Every structure is written in structure tokens, then in C-alpha cells.
Structure 1
Amino acid sequence: MLQQYNRIMVAVDGSKEAELAFQKAVNVAKRNESELLLVHVIDTRAFQTVASFDSALAEQATEMAQKSLDEYIEKAHKHGLTSITSTIEYGSPKMIIGKQLPKEKEVDLILLGATGLNAVERLFIGSVSDYVIRNAPCDVLIVRTDLDNQLPPKKKGE
């Protein structure tokens, strides 16, 4: 019997890496006839000041995230997917993507774009993908390549 994924989650943030993950998630969802769950996590730590939480910045981030999710939904529909849901979450991306949503939404596959963190950045802040790989209760696919399984061209200085 072949492995069947029923609910596939892909984390999108507008980055090139997330776009690659989205493209592959659409293809996997089509092959499995599964639901695609698009997730954008707004890291609330980025909006905190010494005194208080900056709600104006959070509202702006939410509007931008919703616009981005709407574009991803439209692309997925154009590729023939019909079962698509999306969510904007607030908090720690690691915890939400790696633990909270997979359990709440009964996700059986997570796709994430590979991050561009260097060794020092990983040491101090860690990467979301590292955390998700270690803690997710389901399969995880880290996407590094395009639909032709080719690495995207590197930018100058990388």
C-alpha cells in the first residue's frame, strides 16, 4: 500500500525558499488528493517594544500576510487544487509550525523551505526547520530545490 498524505501543511512567508516549498506542496497535494494548509506565522517578538506590544505594526503585518496567503490560494486553485485552507498565527514560528498546528489540524506532512541562516545565526537563534525536524509529530520535508530538483541560483556573496 502506498503512503497517502491527507493534510499537507506548508509554511509561507514570502521568501524564495517558501515559494519553492509551496510549489512542491501543491504537487504533492495533487498527487495525494489531499488538503493543503497554508500557514503564515507572525513572530510577535518582532513587534514588542520595551513598553508594550505595537498593535499598529502587527495589524500591518496581518494585512500583508493575508494578501500573501490570498495570492498563494489563487495559485493553488490555478494548479487544480480544490481543498485549500489557510491560517495566520501569532507567536513562535517554531512552536506553532513544529507542534501546535500539526496536532490541532491533524497534519501528516509539513513542507518547509530551507533557511539561509549561517552557522552563527543558527547557534544563537536556531532555525525553524531544525526545530520542526526534531519535534514535529509527522513527516517533514525540507525543500532546497525547484520543481526540476535544481538548486536555485545563488545571489552574489552567498
Structure 2
Amino acid sequence: MLKQYKHIQVSVDGSKEADLAFSKAVALAKKNDAVLEILHVIDTRSFQNVSSFDSAMVEQVSADAKDKLEEYYARAQKAGVQDVHYSIEFGSPKTIIGHEFPTKHHIDLIVVGATGLNAVERLLIGSVTEYVTRTADCDVLVCRTKEIQAALKAEKD
């Protein structure tokens, strides 16, 4: 018997991979009559390297994220998802996407886009997707298509 998911989390960051994951998460939420949680994590480690830390910068990043999440929210509602929410979290994307948020929201499926990093980049800096698939306590769906992979390859060339 196939599992029916009731609380689906999709993590978005503005990338093509995340947009594909969002589309698949919307379809799954609609099919399963599930709650859809749209999550964006602002990596606070990136602010530690700024010599003159400015709270206005954090406010601007947060405002931009909120605008994008409201667009995703509207798309999900227009597609017919009845119960949809969005959240902006601050901290380490790996731990928030893979553990903290799913635990707090009783997530039973995490939907993520495949990473655009190559093997060397993954080795040096790690991949959020790779970490989540290895360590999450619930099912994880990694979305990838040949079209996305071809587009990413073309961008690098």
C-alpha cells in the first residue's frame, strides 16, 4: 500500500531546482489533500562575513524572501491546494530543512530540488539536498529532470 502524505514541506531558494520541487510538491499536496508548508531558510552564516553588519541588510533579505514566498503561496492556492502556509527561518539550512522544521510541523515528506553542485563542490562545501536525504527522519523526494540538468550544464558552459 502506498503511503499517503499529510504534511508536505518544500524548501525554496529561488533556483530552478527549487521551483521544480515546488511544482511537484503542489501536485502531491493536491493529490493527497495534504498541508503544504513552503519553507525558505536565510543562512545566517553568510552575514558573519560582513565586516560592517547592518540590520537593514537582514531586513531587506527578509522582505525579498517574503515577497517570493507570497508568490509561491498564491501559486499553490491557485493550483487548488487548500491548506498552504509559508515560513522564513534563520540559521543553518541543512539542520532547519532536515530536522528542526519537519519536527516542529510534523512533516512526513520533504520535497527538495537536486543540487546544482558538481562532485568537487559537494565535497568542499557540502550539499543541503545530500545532507537532508541522508539524515532526515521522514521521506525525502529529490526532484530532478533532464531538462533542468541540461539547462544547468548549458549555463556552466
TM-score, with length taken from structure 2? 0.92
The 1:50–1:29 alpha-carbon spacing in structure 2 relative to 1, beyond 3 Å, is closer
1:95 and 2:91 correspond: no
TM-superposition CA deviations, 1:54-85 (whole Å, max 9, x none): 32221111000000000000000110111001
Q: What are structure 1's unaligned runs of at least 5 residues?
A: none
2: distance between equivalents of 1:141 and 1:51? 38
Provide the residue aligned with 1:44 in structure 2: 44
Match of 2:156, SS state, is coil
Letter in 2 for 1:157: K
CA contact (8 A) 2:114 2:144 kept: yes
Provide the residue aligned with 2:86 in structure 1: 86
Match of 1:110, SS state, is strand
2: distance between equivalents of 1:151 and 1:55? 39
2: distance between equivalents of 1:101 and 1:80? 24
The 1:53–1:137 alpha-carbon spacing in structure 2 relative to 1, beyond 3 Å, is farther
CA contact (8 A) 1:7 1:109 kept: yes
Provide the residue aligned with 2:71 in structure 1: 71
Provide the residue aligned with 2:117 in structure 1: 117
Structure 1 runs of 4+ aligned residues shifted over 4 Å read 50-53
Letter in 1 for 2:42: I
1:151 and 2:151 correspond: no
TM-superposition CA deviations, 1:32-56 (whole Å, max 9, x none): 0000000000001111236564322
TM-score, with length taken from structure 1? 0.91
Provide the residue aligned with 2:10 in structure 1: 10
Provide the aligned C-alpha RMSD in A: 1.5
CA deviation after TM superposition for structure 1 residue 157, in Å: 3.4
1:29 and 2:29 correspond: yes
Normalized per residue, the structure richer in helix is 2
